[in-house]
């Protein structure tokens, strides 16, 4: 039976650590640690703004997290260097399995949706730059409801936009908080364990399926 599948973007389809090579030119060996802290702070800021009901779009969270991380590591990044990093974030590289995995799912008749904390225009631009937009029936952004994952209202918004019920909808994400949020909202969920060292939160809420990449997911539901 054809499924309606929501794909997280950052960290699932696109490698947020792809920015490391640019960072190395600015701060050398600190780049990888800096990138991880930037990403974690970006998510933390979105969570906090959601809880405070003080919504600001994801690009603002990203910029503020970069400013924090630069200060934390005393990196002394110039405004020009920060602008270069933020520009690169709009052109992140997709994971190597993205094209083949998405293509297989579409060929099997499933309807795919890009489902992200980012704004519509940012996600459209990212997908188009990587030539992935053609695989998706639509783009669903949290910006429409002015909150962030894992707020239950965000997953309800996806169900409305995709005209699906929770029982027929799937969420695919590498982020445990997203998988847990979707599962709690009644969706089927897939955790893409991008790293063998990744740990799933021990909350007693498990993903429907755990896979190492999108090709494995496509094979398991075909």
The neighbouring-strand residues paired with 169 are 4
Structure tokens at 92: 């992140």
If you write DSSP's letter for every residue of the chain in order, what string do you get?
---EEEE--BTTTB-GGGGHHHHHHHHGGGHHHHHHHHHHHHHHHHHHHHHHT----HHHHHHHHHHHHHHHTT----HHHHHHHHHHHTTPPBPTTHHHHHHHHHHTT-EEEEEESS-HHHHHHHHHHTT-GGG-SEEEEGGGTT--TT-HHHHHHHHHHHT--GGGEEEEES-HHHHHHHHHTT-EEEEE--STT-----SS---SEEESSHHHHHHHH-
Structure tokens at 142: 């949290």
Structure tokens at 10: 């950052």
**Separation between Cα atoms, residue 109 and residue 97, nearest integer Å:** 19
Query: Among residues 8, 97, 143, 151, which one is catalytic?
Result: 8
Catalytic status, residue 8: yes
Q: Which residues are catalytic?
A: 8
């Amino acid at each position: 039976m054809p499924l309606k599948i929501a794909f997280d973007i950052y960290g699932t389809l696109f490698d947020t650590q792809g920015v490391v090579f640019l960072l190395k030119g600015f701060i050398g060996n600190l780049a990888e640690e800096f990138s991880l802290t930037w990403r974690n702070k970006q998510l933390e800021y979105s969570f906090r703004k959601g809880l405070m009901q003080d919504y600001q779009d994801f690009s603002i969270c990203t910029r503020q997290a970069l400013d924090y991380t630069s200060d934390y590591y005393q990196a002394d990044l110039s405004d020009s260097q920060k602008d270069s990093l933020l520009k690169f974030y709009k052109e992140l590289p997709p994971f190597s399995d993205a094209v083949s995995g998405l293509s297989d799912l579409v060929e099997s008749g499933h309807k795919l949706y890009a489902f992200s904390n980012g704004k519509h225009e940012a996600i459209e631009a990212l997908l188009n730059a990587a030539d992935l937009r053609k695989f998706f029936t639509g783009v669903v952004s949290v910006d429409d409801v002015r909150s962030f994952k894992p707020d239950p209202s965000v997953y309800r918004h996806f169900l409305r936009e995709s005209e699906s019920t929770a029982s027929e909808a799937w969420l695919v994400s590498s982020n445990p908080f997203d998988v847990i949020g979707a599962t709690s909202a009644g969706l089927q969920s897939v955790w893409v364990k991008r790293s063998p060292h990744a740990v799933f939160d021990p909350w007693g809420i498990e993903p429907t399926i755990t896979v190492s990449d999108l090709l494995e997911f496509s094979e398991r539901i075909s």
